Amino acid sequence: MKNLERIKKQILRILVKKPSTFWELINFQDAHLSLFLEALKDLLDEGKIIYDKPLFKLKKNLPDIKKFSDPGCLFCKPFDNDPFWRILLEDFKALTQDRPLPTSDYDQGFIRPEDTLKRTAFIYLRGDLEDAEVFILGDDDLISLAMALTGLPKRVVVVEIDERINTFIKETVKKIGFKNLEVYNYNVIESLPEDLKGSFDIFVTDPVETKKGLKLFVARCISSLKGPGSAGYMGFTHREASLEKWREFQSFLLDSGFVITDILRDFTTYPEEENAWEDFYRTYRIMKEFDLDLPEVDWYKSCFIRFEVVEGPHLLEITPPKDLEELYFDEEAWATPLPSYLEKES
Amino acid sequence: MKNLERIKKQILRILVKKPSTFWELINFQDAHLSLFLEALKDLLDEGKIIYDKPLFKLKKNLPDIKKFSDPGCLFCKPFDNDPFWRILLEDFKALTQDRPLPTSDYDQGFIRPEDTLKRTAFIYLRGDLEDAEVFILGDDDLISLAMALTGLPKRVVVVEIDERINTFIKETVKKIGFKNLEVYNYNVIESLPEDLKGSFDIFVTDPVETKKGLKLFVARCISSLKGPGSAGYMGFTHREASLEKWREFQSFLLDSGFVITDILRDFTTYPEEENAWEDFYRTYRIMKEFDLDLPEVDWYKSCFIRFEVVEGPHLLEITPPKDLEELYFDEEAWATPLPSYLEKES
């Protein structure tokens, strides 16, 4: 959505909580001073707020706007203060208890439930969740369900290749009672269906991190976005992506018309036990390079990155991987399991 | 310093604390799996560590390596667990109590003492502080003194235009007893002295945020760096820099050979009371655009950004501002005070 609209949402949800000064409000929104002021003036012009110096106040009740819920510190102890988030975490854990386990065929692995909620909360903090149309490419993390639990998005669309996950999401969202979630079977090798192109405010993805796979995933996602003010969110690691790869990818983002607004280092953790991927390790390159025992601590982490369209987005030409092996493997894929069909071949 | 050396330092300071497994260690360093493994093999080859499967251990005492001190969560409650950081914060506050107050002549304003220490700790976490040669352009935050208090850097050089600050740093560092700090009077309009070029592992700066001033500050800093593996740290706001400006600046960084590794949103706060800049407000553009009272809460915040040289750095041509007005003002400078010499003119 347009940046101005996002800022207005960030302002209104605070004012639903309590009248606030200019300086208080500025701490709960993301804009430059001039855009922040424009948002306030817009809200005054629209008759939604009044300025009773020094306080801005709601002019009337806005039943559509939910008051701001503070998720707490997303870097250490989130969700322990505000009941909205605390209950959401409990519900999300309960609902996803019997989730499908990762398969090596799609290089899967999910982050901790609280980390999925941390991502959701970070998107919420940015004003990118309420009334947003959300595109999710690949969802073994089940963030679509976390978003559905908030009740905030206007529309959530999941495209995912694994039918087990698609079925799980479709069944579970019925229990939640959230009506605006759609799930489609989709292989990233194919171009995005026309009716999904140019239709979303944000996307969320956890791409494979091979040079070609990375750009393929993100290019598909970029084609889903509406335009300036739309934003991409993705997980990206240092574990399997070098700084050279990071740099090349950042150039790709800037050339596509984005600015990078956030890089949260090691924001999410992949729990070993829950992923139950002990059996994958024997095919990891790292285990062949050095004589190691299986891990006794969680160690696979990824950063969370936000980038926002400033112009375009421009849809750049990319070279798709020529086969599944090139999609999942390059010289930096040191902790990626060999899919069963490749294992049989080798 | 070379990336490999940085990773080795991150590993050793953990092993000084206790023997650790491969998977434990990986959580305390920043590298790709392959570089991490290379660092371990290097340390084994150098006879500094041994691998007593599954534990890596120090082979002998390494008196030069200080054990890792955990600064805690830098986003909410830092420095409350580890005595190293807790005492450092107390000392830093005591030492900087009588610091020079900001003058509008240089668009000054300092962040909270705990935020200066948070920046220092973040640099430390990255392995960029121990034995590092540090270049600081502009130091009203007095981060040079925080670094001196850690005792960790090999060399700290401050270049700063304000003689009051230079004198304060020189006097105070004597009390600390840190010998490796140098302070030079320097105007950013001038090219960097030859003997400071290409000599540093990291730089830290809080640039003016005008289009031309920003690049001028950072270009001077880039010319101070040694090469690949060197890193830049800077404060940068959303309050006075639009996303368009952020994007253009990120392109500049990538073109200069950097990858952006961290963007910590609103990491630091400028305290209103301590800065005592009430008198500046009457000249701020924001106060002319809207009828506002002086702020009753702290509201000016900046992000902290880290970027690392992957190639080069390439020293790009920049267009320096033609005068001081163009250095300090552009159409986005809405909370920048009019310097006294410009005020007299206008």
What are B149-165's pLDDT values in tens digits? Answer: 999 999 999 999 999 99
CB burial of residue A345 (10 Å; 0-12, 13-18, 19+): exposed
User: Which among A27, A75, A293 has CB closest to B73?
Assistant: A75
Q: What's the average model confidence in pLDDT over A268-280?
A: 88
The predicted model gives A28-57 an average pLDDT of: 97
pLDDT at A341: 76
Q: What is the pLDDT of residues B184-209, one digit of tens each?
A: 999 999 999 999 999 999 999 999 99
Q: Which two tokens stand for residue B27?
A: 């959580």
CB-CB under 8 Å, A308 with B37 = no
Share of chain B above pLDDT 70, in %: 99
Beta strands in B60-171 (DSSP E): 133-137, 155-160
Coil vs helix vs strand at A232: strand
Give the residue-averaged pLDDT of A67-76. 96
Closest chain A residue to B3, measured at CA: A243
% of chain A surpassing 70 pLDDT = 99
Nearest CA in chain B to A74: B75
Mean pLDDT lowest among A109-113, A192-196, B49-53, B169-173: A109-113
pLDDT for res A7:
97
Residue of A27, A77, A334 lying closest to B299 (CB–CB): A27
What integer is the mean pLDDT of B220-239? 98
Which residues, including other chains, have CB under 8 Å from residue B56's CB and lie 6 or more apart?
A: B11, B15, B19, B20, B21, B22, B25, B40, B49, B50
User: Is residue B124 within 8 Å of residue B147, measured between CB atoms?
Assistant: no
pLDDT tens digits for range B63-104: 889 999 999 999 998 998 899 999 999 999 999 999 999 888
pLDDT at B273: 87
Q: What domains, with CATH codes, occur in chain B?
A: 3-58 (1.10.10), 83-345 (3.40.50.150)
Q: How far is B61 from chain A (nearest CA, A)?
A: 25
| Average pLDDT taken over every residue of chain A | 94
- What's the mean pLDDT when you consider all of chain B? 94
Residue B345 pLDDT class (50, 70, 90 cuts):
low
Determine the residue among B32, B245, B308, B314 to mutate to test chain A binding: the one whose Cβ has the most chain A Cβ atoms within 10 Å.
B32
pLDDT band at A344 (very low <50, low <70, confident <90, very high): low
Among A55-64, A326-335, B259-268, the range with the most confident prediction by mean pLDDT is B259-268
Which residue is it, tokens 């655009």? B289
DSSP string, A235-298: EE-SSSS-HHHHHHHHHHHHHTTEEEEEEEEEEEEE-HHHHT-GGGGGG-HHHHHS--PPPSS-
The 10s digit of each residue's pLDDT in B8-42 is: 999 999 999 999 999 999 999 999 999 999 999 99
Lowest mean pLDDT, pick from A61-75, A241-255, B328-342: B328-342
> Residue B344's pLDDT band (boundaries 50, 70, 90)?
low
Look up residue A81 and give its two tokens: 């203060």
- For residue B342, the model assigns a pLDDT of 74
Interface contacts (A, B; CB < 8 Å): 158
Give pLDDT tens digits for B120-134.
Answer: 999 999 999 999 999
Cβ <8 Å between A334 and B33 = yes
Q: Decide: helix, strand or coil at residue B279.
A: helix
DSSP string covering B24-71: HHHTT--S-HHHHHHHHHHHHHTTSEEEETTEEEESS--TTSPPP---
Residue type, A154: K
